[in-house]
Structure 1
Amino acid sequence: MNTCRSPLPSAARRQQGFTLLGLLFWGAVIAVAAVVGMKVFPTVLEYYTVQKVVDRIAAGNPATVPQVRQEFDKATQVEYSIQSVRSSDLAISKDANDRVVIEFGYDKEIDLFGPVYLLIKYRGHSR
């Protein structure tokens, strides 16, 4: 008689995978991460836009502080994503090589849900 037996004991053949509770838990974790990411992503884009504008202005090595502020104001009219930094917020100086250095910094408070907020402190300077 040829009986068909599995070489593994029944405990080793047990199925593995996600339980319903595990699936719900990881689904909730992924959903919260996605919501936080969607709220943070625009602020990161704004930071990189400000950085790009500041680098471009500093590369032109403007002669005066009002000229730097005027160029930044022109850039904010074109780059609609810059909302957190004004030209008056820029710290403008010259380094040892007589090159213009533009520094900026601002805080973004993001309302996540209920009384929970995320505070991001952005700082940057021209390169």
Structure 2
Amino acid sequence: MRANRSTSRSNQRGISFIGLLFVAIVLACVGVVVAQVIPTLVEYQAIDKAANKAKEGVTVPEVRAIFDRAQAIDDFKLSGKDIVVEKVGEKVVVSYSYEREIHLFGPAYLTMKYKGQSR
């Protein structure tokens, strides 16, 4: 017995070339944005590590100096002047907040707002 050709074609499923091209373009655009976001996440981790190290200082100038030394090593854009140093009970708490902009296309930007404090 022969299979009915019209039925077998209507049962076929898949993606057309145009659909495949559209999916590839969307994935490429998402990949480009992700590739630009990852360095800001690495920078955030370095700043968080520096804030946790800086809380070991006793005075405010000492905390800022420890943070600036970590900034010189890890090469991020935040400096000791940009952090807030507070004493909560017996603990020194270093907090920070900053923004990074990623240019997407034309007038469109992706703004990443980071905020954190030492643990």
Question: Sequence identity of aligned pairs in percent?
Answer: 38
Paired position in structure 2 for 1:114: 106
Q: 1:90 aligns with which of 83, 100, 108?
A: 83
Q: 2:36 aligns with which of 19, 36, 39?
A: 39
Paired position in structure 2 for 1:11: 7
Paired position in structure 2 for 1:99: 91
Inter-partner Cα distance in structure 2 for 1:63 and 1:107: 28
Counterpart secondary structure, 1:46: helix
Quick check: 2:54–2:64 contact (8 Å CA) kept in 1?
Answer: no
Inter-partner Cα distance in structure 1 for 2:88 and 2:31: 42
Unpaired segments of 5 or more residues in structure 1?
A: none
TM score, norm. by length of structure 2? 0.91
RMSD: 1.6
Q: What amino acid is the match of 2:88?
A: D
Q: What amino acid is the match of 1:68?
A: V
**Deviating runs (4+, > 6 A) in structure 1?**
none
Q: 1:68 aligns with which of 63, 66, 76?
A: 63
| Paired residues, number | 118
TM score, norm. by length of structure 1? 0.85
Q: CA deviation at 1:9?
A: 7.6
Unpaired segments of 5 or more residues in structure 2?
A: none
Q: What amino acid is the match of 1:107?
A: E
Deviations 1:52-109 (A, max 9, x none): 1111222x2x1100000111111111112x12x111010000112x100000000111
